[in-house]
Amino acid sequence: MSLKQVSIAGMGCVCACGNTAAETFEGALSGNALFELPADRITSTYTTKYPVFLVNPTTYQNKPADQTFSQFFFIRAAQEAFAQAGILPSQLTPSRVGVIVGSSVHSSFHCFQIYKQWRQNSLTSQDIAGLKNYLATPLAQWVSNYFGFTGPFQTIATACASGTDAIGLAKNWIETDLCDVVLCGGTDELTESPYDGFIRLLVSTPQRCRPFCKTRSGINIGEGAAALLLVNEQTAQKFQLPCQGYVLGYGNCCDGFHPTAPDPKGTGLQKALSFALQDAGKNANDIAFINAHGTASQANDSAEAIAFRAVLPQVPVWGSKSVTGHTLGAAGAIEAVLTLQALNKRILPATVGFSTPDEQLQLVPTQKQTTISKRFAVSDSLAFGGCNAAIVLGACDAA
């Protein structure tokens, strides 16, 4: 491994199909996930009820009262990443550990109760204190403080590309010697904002989503978190850390086509994919599969299909959101963890729910579990505001 090759010492995950990284991948293989109405979590006035992908309530039954769900999910995932790496946060040099956390909802919309009270003119002094705390504690800073790190931190809020951008930026921080270690990933919780928002955009579906299927009818919101512990060569050797894989390439491009809709031609995504491949020194022939953004909306799946045909023709495509839901700012990080496990286990799961090819897409995702031999994969994300991001990941034996 060269000085600039960034390895992953540990990873953790919690979402609708598992409470650990390993459980999440088993859920991806089996198709089992908690998909139901958000009964006691969301109050919505819409007549049609839309099920969502939820973290199992037993997972957060002991959540501290002063932590949001997003904070709790990420800390849980981060603790799993440290445990998998076999190292304690206290063993690391605090000033050389960076923290980058991607989030879409939590970064802006976790103060609904305060907002409601303000609208009703019923704010108290205690509520004002809560508002000040909300404004003064960005997510990444809070995580950094939680573990006692004093290195750089950054909260990424590029909507649904946040988790992928967090991993890509973490790679850059290590390559430029800003940090020895970067704890990165994404987290988001179910709230009224995305739940009602996607309904208003007419892209939600009461059925379980079916990425790239001709009968696809829309998006299911999800929640969860994933954390990855990225390290440089010296740190890996010093602490004899295991290797779960590599972050080899990162590409980002904002096409600015529309506030919420993707560029129909996938122009920005094509550039992001190309940049990531170039950064990794790989081409389409090296790639085992793509873990697609695959939200199962008409516009998104179409734009992705065009981009894949242009940049990664003939590369197998897996849509994993039919077992995790669209976890917004956490999506790219959760999908990175799933991608790494697929590479390491040499197993590519089927796209759950897919049944009928869409002739217009000219793309048929994985229909059955298959064995893979190539050691590299791509994970991509599309987001509001025309944000596009992609990373190239390598298996643990890819160096």
Alpha-carbon torsion (394, 395, 398, 399), positive or negative: positive
Please check whether residue 139 is in contact with residue 106, taking contact to mean a CB–CB distance below 8 angstroms. Answer: yes
The active-site residue out of 106, 213, 326, 387 is 326
Query: Is 106 noted as a catalytic residue in this protein?
Result: no
Q: How far is Cα 163 from Cα 229, in angstroms, rounded to an integer?
A: 14
pTM: 0.94
List CB contacts of 40: < 8 A, sequence separation 6 or more. none
**What is the rounded CA–CA span in Å between residue 170 and residue 184?**
7
Q: Look up 258 and say whether it is catalytic.
A: no
In whole angstroms, how far apart are CA 35 and each of 74, 206, 221, 319, 334? 21, 11, 10, 17, 17
* Residues of the chain falling short of pLDDT 70: 1-4, 107-116, 125-137
What confidence score (pLDDT) does residue 1 get? 38
Residue in this structure with the two tokens 């992705």, named with its chain if needed: 304
Q: Which of 15, 213, 293, 387 is catalytic?
A: 293
Report pLDDT for 48.
85
Selecting among 13, 15, 17, 160, the annotated active-site residue is 160
Q: May I ask the CATH class of domain 6-394?
A: alpha beta
HSE-CB at 203 with a 13 A cutoff on CA atoms is: 19
**How far apart (Å, rounded) are the C-alpha atoms in residues 201 and 169?**
30
CA atoms of 298 and 210, how far apart (whole Å): 11
Question: Which amino acid appears at position 163 of this protein?
Answer: G
Closest CA to 384 of 317, 329, 306: 329
Return the pLDDT at 3: 44
